[in-house]
Amino acid sequence: MRIRIVLLCILYLLLTLTADASPRNQALLQAVRMGDDIKVEQLLNSGAATDIRDQWGKQPIIIAAARGDIAIVQLLLSRGAKINARDNWQRTPLITAVQNNCTWLADILIHRGADVNLAANNGINALIAAVQRGNASAANMLLAAGAKVNAGDIMGWTPLMWGAKRGDVYLVEFLIDAGADVNLVDNDGKTVLDQVKERGNNQKMIKLLNSRGAVSGLSAGYIYTGVQTPSIYFSDKKFLPVINGRVSKGNLNAPVTIVEYTDLQCPYCISGAKTADEVVERYEGQVKLVLKHLPLEFHTAAMPAALYFEAIAEQNVDKAWQFYSRIFAEQHRLKEGEQYLQQVVAELALDMQALSRVIASHELKARIEADIAEADSFGFDGVPVFIINGRMLDGAYPLNEFCRAVDEAITNLNQ
């Protein structure tokens, strides 16, 4: 009986894979990507499946949601597509629509029954995504539909904290009025007031928070008590990034190579970098960390910072890593632009003229653009992403989860 069950499971898996790979289903995925609603309808009429997935686990409805394609999303829903379908990163059509500022589509999905409180692997739910983009209209719509105003992401950051990071006083006041708790703390024990003060002297924001009863979590000794437990996504697919000649730290001949794709302006990458450094230290001699870049388009200071990192590494690798740590420690200062980057270079006692020549050579920009193209070919559209001996770990996971992935890589080497 047990053998029969195993054989039936294998047969089901083979049939599923064959169905997903069929020309009709592949044509449906392509038609959705192209926004060809007529072709999509023809393919659905001929038997194409609404629940097929591409190599990144994205079903047609998620692909259409990323495009903001209302017509195709509604067509797919009418043919049985799951409104809460999830890709490999656990993103739903609603989260995807909000992340792409497709507010009208998000409204349709909510009215069709989308779960407003589902979150991706990194803990980002639709409300957090709306606040990150300063989309007050979407935030209002989500809260009216029952979104949890105090739900935190993988770093323990709430929508209120993200609103404060944007410096958006109106949005912060709106969230407080909607029930946001001003004294929740993140994973580091910081309240939103701590975070605002750490980033600079935004007196208007500080005055608002003080008037609403905000206190310092650090001085009060608050401890994060959230229950954020992200489900780790450690891909079985093999990824082979090009790492020859790239900046690294740790044992050059280590059995485990971790390739980090980062954005120096991304708050999640701060957490990811901190964990990666702890892993290199904990597994001394066993791990090598290689840095690659994936600056996101809406982080306008990320590309210049990446160029500086690579240029500094041409002079001194150790100082490049010092620059990396400094930028993450003072990430809020990237808004000061070139002046801040040059200040850090001066304090690191580097040759600014030589650095400027390297940056102006276009070679470094081509290197970073190659990183972006490589990440795109792998299907990465967020940061941080880590590749551990060819397997992807997506997101800024806690140290224990990261170590579990490294331990698995070491175990695989010994088999």
> Domain-by-domain residue ranges, the chain?
1-115+134-146, 149-231, 234-413
* Fold equal for 1-115+134-146 and 149-231: yes
pLDDT digits (tens, 9 = 90+) for 320-337: 999 999 999 999 999 899
* Confidence tier at 199 by pLDDT (50, 70, 90): confident
Task: Say whether pLDDT at 225 is over 60.
Answer: no
| pTM for this predicted structure | 0.80
Mean pLDDT score across all residues of the chain: 90
Query: For 149-231, which CATH superfamily applies?
Result: Ankyrin repeat-containing domain (1.25.40.20)
Q: What is the pLDDT of residue 6?
A: 43
pLDDT digits (tens, 9 = 90+) for 126-165: 999 999 999 999 999 999 999 999 999 988 999 999 999 9
Q: Give every CB contact of residue 320 below 8 A, 6+ residues apart in sequence.
A: 247, 309, 310, 312, 313
CA dist., res. 179 & res. 153, Å (int): 17
CA dist., res. 96 & res. 92, Å (int): 6
pLDDT digits (tens, 9 = 90+) for 266-280: 999 999 999 999 999
Q: How many CA atoms lie within 13 Å of 305's alpha carbon, on the beta-carbon side?
A: 32
Please name the residue that has the structure tokens 């997903």.
20
Task: Say whether pLDDT at 400 is over 90.
Answer: no
Task: Say whether pLDDT at 224 is over 90.
Answer: no
Q: What is the pLDDT of residue 202?
A: 87
Q: Decide: residue 377, CB within 10 A, 0-12 exposed, 13-18 middle, 19+ buried.
A: exposed
Task: Say whether pLDDT at 10 is over 90.
Answer: no
CATH fold of 1-115+134-146 reads 1.25.40
DSSP 264-299: TT-HHHHHHHHHHHHHHHHTTTTEEEEEEE---TT-
Which two three-digit tokens encode residue 108? 């349709």
Which one of 3.40.30.10, 3.10.180.10, 3.90.1300.10, 3.40.1390.30 gives the CATH number of domain 234-413? 3.40.30.10
